[in-house]
Each structure stands twice: as C-alpha cells, then as structure tokens.
Structure 1
C-alpha cells in the first residue's frame, strides 16, 4: 500500500523530518519544564481524545512501556515487562482496554507539580492523584501494589473514588500482625483466606493463600461473598477448584484493561528502527489511538447488533485508516482502483 503511495526514499525522508513542533517556537523555560516538549502537541491531541470517552464505573491503572533501546535521558527499565526498556507511561483504562488517560513519566519532581498537596507523597500516590483527578464519584479503581499506599487510598476515599489492589506488606504492617501467618494459611490448604478491617470500617485487608500468600487492600470489596475459581495444580497436573474471596474475583475481572491495550498495540506495532526517541513516541501514540479507535468501533458494532463476521478485524481497520489518509493525498482507495480496473476490462471486451 505504501509502495503504491510513495517511493522508498520519500518515505524515509518524511520520517526522518517528522516533527510535532517547530523548535524555535518553544520558549526555553518550557523546554526546561517539559522534557517531552518535542512531541507534546501530538501527545496532547491523543490525550484529548482519551478524555472525551465515557467513563465506566470500573477502571484500572498500570504501567505501560514505550519500547525504545536508543539513547534517551528518561529511558527506564521495568523488570518482567514484555518490553522492559523504554519510556514509562502510566495509563488509566477501562476493563475493555480503552485508554482514558495517561501520563508519561519524566521524574517524580515534574509529576509533583501537577497535583495538589504533593509534599511527602511517593511516586505511586502521585500517579493515583494525577490520573484519578478527573474521575467522577463512585468510580472503582483497580491497580497493583505500586499504587496502593494508604495516603493515596484515603485521599481517593474522600473523593468517593474507591481503590482496590494488591498491597505491600510493610504498608499494612498493623493489619499483618492480626492476620494468620503464611504457615497457618498453608496448613489450612489452598484457597484459605482471612480478613481484617480498619477501626473506622472504611478499609479492609484480605490475605488469601493460593500457590503463595496474596495480600490485598480495598475500600469497596472484602472477603465475602466467597466463590470458586479454577487454578492449575502442579502436583495433580490439572485444574482444580479453589475457594476465592470476592476481592480477588473483582480484581481479576477488572484489572486487565491496560494489558489488553498493550496486547492490541503489540499485534501490529509500527516497526521503527530509529535512534530518535521522538519518532518512537509519535509511532507509539499513533498505535495507541488506533487501538482505542478499533475497540470503540467494535463496541459500537456489538451494540448495533452487527454480526461478528461482518465486523472489521484490527488489521483490516488499520489498513482502512491508511487508505483514507493516502486517498486524501491523491492516492486512490484500493476498492476504487479495483472497480476502475474491472470497468476498463469490460470496455475492452465490448465488440467494435
């Protein structure tokens, strides 16, 4: 498709000169305050589109990596991520994978300037205050243990935003003293759990023993009502039924939004072998916008009762978007080209 639209040299010339701003138009104080000033207008445009989406009752917060191994002053390494090296992006997403807000990390100091009463707060709490600042009352937020320090949970509770997530044991040390030890829960068997509530009844900590102990904190969920879930047993080499607290079920059901968005982008990520971090970020947020757009399109098709077979796959959707942009620059749409070719063949077959 691109080959038909432009030459190899033109494509790489355009890519090498791709910019979101004119450098001389940006004041020096803005360059010092914002390390991403070179791509800020494009990021803000994508962010504006994210902010326009309807807010669901449940959302999740997680880290997202912008893969990049070149030289970059704010490059991070996050262990256990599929792409551990690159720029770190904190993302707020719906359970269906639609990105609603994001903040690319450029230092805790910069982040602290964006939130009120930031003194003494760690990075996790700063991220929570920044991304949850626009959520309406009654929203339930799910996140991992990096984002559940008690000050952040209490602050959000005042805003009637309820956090649930795994938690570091040293953040709830008093609750851990009241809960059974790991050894005791292990003796009770897989699926054993216990809970303890704070004196004001607004927070509870649940400890559940699966393959290993899991400690969770919530301002909205608790241990009850319990249910069962399927878990893999290494000893029996099959799935077994395990008792599961309500807090764990809700967390597992609502936490995967950011991972789903990541998975969508990784399917057809724009392959860019470049030493420029700006190019990598422009491509990443283009991928993010495309993933969001397709998920919204699929959601609309489902609501309209469109059969699944008639709904465009993600790759088809991306190709269609590319065709539209190429058509605007004088390159005919693929369907139109085929129709013209067929019409020409018909004329050639007519006698005389």
Structure 2
C-alpha cells in the first residue's frame, strides 16, 4: 500500500510522499482513534482548543490530509483494461481479498443470515445504490453473511448487473444470485435466513440441492401459483394470532401466513407452523399486553435473522468518518471497521467462554483504542531516538502515563532503564509492586523498581504486567 501510494503521488504531482508501511500503520491507528472521539471536523484534532496530543504529536495536519487524500492499494498501470472491465472494485481488490480471507477462516455456525448492508457514500460513482428503509440508504451495497452474534463470515460488494455472472439464473434475480454466491463458503446442514428481497421457491430448491435449508419472509407475488391464502380482511376478523399453512406435495417446502398487526408470509424448507408458542403484544384496544399465538417458523426466524443488523449496529457506534469524494477511501475505512468489529465480537465471545467478569472485558471503544495505540506505537518505532534528554523533562507527579499494550512493552531492546533527576520517587507501575522508585523506562515513560531484591523493570517487559 505504501509503494502504491508513493507511486501514484509521483504520477499525479511529480513528487513522492515518501511514506512507509510503518507510517501507514500509524495513519490507521490515528484514524481509528479519531473514530472513538467523534469530532465533527477532522481539523479540530489539531486546533488549540480541542487538540488531541496522541494525534497531533503523531502527524502534522497537512501530512495526515496528504496521506488520506492519496491513499492507494494498487498501482493503476499494473491493472490491464480487461481486468478493469471484469472487476469494478480493482482499485481495492488486494485489501478486499485479504479481509475476505480472514472472514472465510472463521468457523460456520449452524444458523446464519443474509441481508444487505450499506457502505455510506454520497459522492460520485457508478457503484452507488439507493436502498430505502436503511439508516444510511445511499452508498455502496454490500451483501453480507453473518452469524446471529453479528460476526461477518462473508460478503460481496454489489458492482451492478455483472456482479453475479456465474450465478445469473433469471429465476433467482439479484437477491437469489447473491445468496448462491455467499453459500459457496457454507457447508451442507446449515440453516439460512433472509428477508423478502431474497426469498423465492426457486432459491429454496437450489439451496436444498446443496443440502442447505432456507427460511425467509416472502412477497405475495412470489408464492407458488395456484396457492390461495386468506385475505387480510378475513384474517382480521379471525383475530390476532391466526395462522394458516400450505405444504407442497413433495413435502419439501411450506408457506405459513400469520396475522399480528398485519399479515406476514414466510416460506421455508425446514420449519413449519407447529408447534405454536405464545408471545406478548401490545393491544391498543385493551391498553395492555396480551398473549398472541405465534407459529414456530416465526419464532425461529426472529431468533436467527438479526445477524447483519447486529454487525451494522456495532460498526455504527464508532464508524470511521470520511467526508471525502473518493469511494475507494470510504470502502477502505469500511473494511477496517469490519475487521475491528469482527475482532471485538470474537474477543468478547472468547472471554465470556472463559467466564471472565464483565469489567475485565474491554468494551468496543476500549478495544479500538488499544488497537489504535499499538498501531501508533509501531509507527513511531522508526522515529524513536535514544539521544533524548530525559533529565530536563518537567516532572508532573499527578499525571500518570498509561501502561502501553503488551506487544509494545516487550519490543526488543528499545526499552532501557534510566535514573530520573526528580526530587521524589514515583510509584512503581508493576501490578505486583507497591514500592516507589526513580528508575523509569526510556520508551514506556513508566517507573519500575530496580533493586537487589527485585527487578520490576524486567518483569514488566518480559511478561504480562
């Protein structure tokens, strides 16, 4: 990415940005940190009243905007005209492939859902789509396969009519073809859930042929011909909780209509109406919650369908903001958000399985900041100098320097002890020690004991402290 960015800068301006992989790590670390703070204008991170030291000390404002505006993944001249026609996402393909590889390595649950996800973007591009009833209806459309917990397992960014050329069955349409593309990484025996945009009898038959069960809400004009369902008026007279079922002659597909506040039609190759359970719904007539009968297919659909919405919800909390007219930058940042979201969901799930207390598990913002802090520290390694004069540093006894992440604390020989010229000793930052010392680490800027009896400095830099 650094080579492509430098090369493009030379081609456009005649000058190289002279960026490196380490500087780009720092760039992404700073960008992630910004997303956690959420200032309305990027310039505010450098302004006097709102300056953020970890950001302003990492980059000048001009340098940050230079990198952000010229960030590239590939060298344009290395991509042939034929490749550009076949793949409209060629500008970000290497990074996109790397993220997809990570998603494909995740284990598959027995229940997965497919839905549309929007990559917010209002600039000019032929890839832009409009999907109503989405929180961000305008942008690049992304078909996503996710677990109920919100872990993204696979995705396909929509490029237009030629996106699913290999699955272009006319009877399936775009939605059905998207499902067939995403199930390429799904093993037989899986149950898939999707909404009315995707569901059709042809799709369920195609999935059944692969050993995959499908369930989804369905449009009334897609139900099998000759099937007559009760009208909304008839269902309303029968009352809330009324349902009916139709099963195909081969027994491999059923259609269930359920009336709550309005009729809902579902189609499935694995679930049916029975056994029914009860759910509680608000009654405007009685001004209280009342029990309403609910078919089994509805209950199972509600439990398993929200995976993509959960992923969107997690990403939206600290989405990387980019008011920029380049769809490539917007998509690169979205891929970073997907990676962070997936990583945190896995981290949280692993810690829950280990029965860790809630306060011991990092929240999403803490997790993002920990990743950002590590990336910034890695980017600063090449700029570190061992000749800094620490003796002249102003001593601030009440200001505590945060303990860096484990990977940064244990980085080779950059961590060296030094005796500080301060009037009073400072509290040792090793968790197992309560003593005071005047020795500090030249990289971490934290104080650690070095005595005949113990070496907190060595302990902190060789194992988890």
- Please list, as runs of the form range in 1=range in 2, the aligned pairs for 1:113-192 lying within 5 A after superposition: 113=166, 115=167, 118=169, 120-174=171-225, 176-177=227-228, 179-192=229-242
Q: Is the 8 A contact 1:175 1:196 kept in 2?
A: no
Report the equivalent of 1:335. Answer: 403
* C-alpha distance after superposition, 1:183-236 (max 9, x if no partner): 222111101101010000000000000000000000110000100112233334
Q: After TM superposition, give the deviation of residue 112 of structure 1 in Å.
A: 2.0
Deviation sequence 1:74-131 (CA, Å, 0-9, x none): 1001001000000000000000100000000011323123x3x735541111111101
Equivalent of residue 88 in structure 2, options 35, 43, 52: 35
Q: C-alpha separation between the residues in 2 aligned to 1:175 and 1:232?
A: 35
User: Distance between the aligned counterparts of 1:344 and 1:194, measured in 2?
Assistant: 81
Residues 14-58 of structure 1 show CA distances to partners (whole Å, capped at 9, x for unaligned) of 111111111111111111111111111111111111000000000
Question: How high is the TM-score relative to the length of structure 2?
Answer: 0.71
Aligned equivalent of 1:252:
302
In the TM superposition, residue 336 of structure 1 has moved relative to its aligned partner by: 4.2
SS of match in other structure, 1:62: strand
- Offset from partner CA, 1:299-324 (integer Å, 9 cap, x none): 00011111111100000000000011
Aligned positions of 1:281-320 closer than 5 A = 281-320=331-370
Shift of the 81–237 alpha-carbon distance from structure 1 to 2, 3 Å rule, reads: farther
Q: Give the structure with the higher percent helix.
A: 1
Match 1:235 to one of 255, 260, 285: 285
Pair 1:344–1:135, CA change in 2 (3 A): same
Given that 2:144 and 2:154 are in contact with CA atoms closer than 8 Å, whether structure 1 keeps it comes out as yes
Give the whole-Å Cα distance in 2 for the aligned partners of 1:175 and 1:63. Answer: 31
Query: What displacement does 1:345 show?
Result: 7.4
Pairing 1:64–2:117 present: yes
Q: Residue 153 of structure 1: CA displacement?
A: 0.7
Question: Counterparts of 1:48 and 1:147 in 2: how far apart (Å)?
Answer: 25
Residue 87 of structure 1 corresponds to which residue in structure 2? 140
Aligned-partner SS, 1:329: helix
Task: Report the 3-state secondary structure (helix = DSSP H, G, I; strand = E; otherwise coil) of the residue aligned with 2:108.
Answer: coil
Q: CA deviation at 1:176?
A: 3.9
- Pairwise CA distance, 1:151: 1.1
- C-alpha contact (below 8 Å) 1:169/1:176 kept by paired residues: no
Matched with 1:349 is 424
Match of 1:47 in 2: 100
CA contact (8 A) 2:128 2:140 kept: yes
Contact 1:323 1:334 in 2 (8 A): no
Measured in 1, the distance between the counterparts of 2:422 and 2:352 equals 42
Where does the alignment leave 5 or more consecutive residues of structure 2 unmatched?
A: 1-53, 385-400, 410-414, 426-436, 439-465
Q: CA deviation at 1:173?
A: 4.4
Deviation at 1:180, TM superposition (A): 2.6
Quote the residue 2:375 is aligned against.
Answer: 325
Give the TM-score, by structure 1 length: 0.93
DSSP-derived class of the 1:335 partner: coil
| Deviation of the 1:246 alpha carbon | 0.3
Aligned length: 346
Relative to structure 2, which stretch is displaced further, 308-317 or 182-191?
182-191
